[in-house]
A and B are shown apart, each in its own frame.
Chain A
């Protein structure tokens, strides 16, 4: 049982009057009720609000023009939802005042007829890549319940993969959209830094925080993204750019695009299944070109330290007063981070800029870069160590090894899911990053659509019958 319809299909049916928004939303709520005991994607299900909202869509004179009419969706629980506390995966925020209004992106989607059905599990304060949340419990991977969903937007990916909703929103600071997309087999978009306003979301690292959508088709992903575009003065990092729609260009194909595989760090830190996925995408796109970026490991270190400093400083008051209330997976890291000297952070910001300039030069000769989204397929819940590149590395931090250098410089990325790349676990997906120059989300989405059309990537609903 699942809400398997794509957002565009549901919206078309509601617009045409062959399906009511109430029926679409009820189907989603029923699926959540039937499956979430095993997945644990949701931390709040807002049935009353959702059904009221669905009725408003059904009665709206604008219904026939709403691009997401009756489409159920859910958001990572760091998005403000009017009337409930914004948890950001924590116990601490449970006693905060309820949000006074919905986050900007949520309002933009509902203005087009989408209907919010709930809030989703995540790593505490978005600091993690696994969603093994000690307060809410671990979020389980719908394709293999013993494995992690990835994080920090684990609930966002899992809800889509489980067929609970066709669309979700998450955040990505160091890989938190791309890692769970990869491990749960969904499409995910991390737009350019500054593209989508973060107003009404709980921050983690303001210098690196991005918001973006998850979906089971490229058309849904692009539509959701298009409807969320546009500046907002209350997010100081949000660029004053007009809306640049991508949906109409999705079938533009890849002809004329210069595509290359990222080498060096992006191949060295990848297991066989990640390399197989990238090679399959490269072959489908007809490229054997390899591009190597300079100092990728240092770019990752820069993102790491900026994260330390801003995350540690943000939570300093609570670390002083109630450190014991933090998740065991984040507490000691936040405490250590609060102590990071300023000189390290300033150097990290300078390296970030240095790296951004070098990558910009590389992007003068290539339109789309390909790299794995995660070093491997989803590990079992509780995994402590990964063997990668001949090293024994901490599993939780290492899931972001290949995403962190890219978000460090704010490039747009679509993650596309591939299957059967790990012969030992063919049922598990793994994602490939399609990376473009700043503000060229359209290219990432165009290539993703071409790969989807060729059958190279897909995002099926998990089989939860057993």
Chain B
């Protein structure tokens, strides 16, 4: 991964921003799993995509006859 991330600093900053408290007991596991996610992200970064490659998450507009789309 070219932009090597300081996971410890990121975890602390992101957790604080989100209002999450990472305890000493949780920290090794959180660091391990976040590192795994970072490895997955690095793998995805290696696939050359173009701006035309759209997201797999497609929004579907809600028709007025469904009201708010929920009961």
Contacts and interface: CB of A to CB of B under 8 A. Distances in A.
A295 B43 CA distance: 10
Contacts of B60: 236
Interface stretch (A8-16, A37-45, A271-279, A339-347): A339-347
A354 B66 contact: no
Nearest to B54: A353
Interface in A285-344: 295, 297-298, 301-302, 304-305, 308, 316, 319-320, 323, 331-333, 335-341, 344
B29 interface: yes
Nearest to B48: A354
Contacts of B57: 207, 349
B40 interface: yes
Interface in B1-15: 10-11, 14-15
A336 B10 CA distance: 11
A190 interface: no
A336 B49 contact: no
A272 B22 CA distance: 41
Given A349-B55, A349-B57, A350-B49, A336 B44 contact: no
B47 interface: yes
B33 A332 contact: yes
Q: Which of A207, A233, A336, A347 is most buried by chain B, counting CB atoms within 10 A of its CB? A: A336
B40 A350 contact: no
Contacts of A234: 70-71
Given A336-B29, A347-B45, A350-B49, A304 B71 contact: no
A302 B21 CA distance: 27
B29 A338 contact: no
Nearest to B51: A350
A352 B57 CA distance: 9
B44 A344 contact: yes
Contacts of A335: 15, 20, 22, 26, 29-30, 33
Contacts of B45: 347
A340 B37 contact: yes
B44 A353 contact: no
Contacts of A179: none
Nearest to B17: A339
A316 B19 CA distance: 9
A333 B56 contact: no
A354 to B, nearest CB: 6
A236 B43 CA distance: 31
B24 interface: no
Q: Which of B45, B57, B62 is most buried by chain A, counting CB atoms within 10 A of its CB? A: B57
Contacts of B29: 331-333, 335-336
B40 A305 contact: yes
B20 A319 contact: yes
B43 to A, nearest CB: 5
Interface in A347-404: 347-354, 356
B28 to A, nearest CB: 8
Given A333-B29, A348-B41, 14 more contacts: A301-B44, A323-B21, A332-B32, A335-B20, A335-B26, A335-B30, A336-B33, A339-B30, A347-B44, A349-B55, A350-B49, A351-B49, A353-B53, A353-B56
29 contacts: A233-B69, A236-B60, A236-B62, A236-B69, A298-B43, A301-B40, A304-B37, A308-B37, A316-B20, A320-B18, A320-B19, A323-B20, A323-B21, A331-B26, A332-B26, A332-B32, A332-B33, A333-B29, A335-B29, A336-B31, A338-B18, A339-B20, A340-B37, A341-B14, A344-B40, A346-B55, A351-B56, A353-B53, A354-B53
| 5 closest residue pairs by CB, A with B | A332-B29, A352-B56, A336-B33, A353-B56, A301-B40
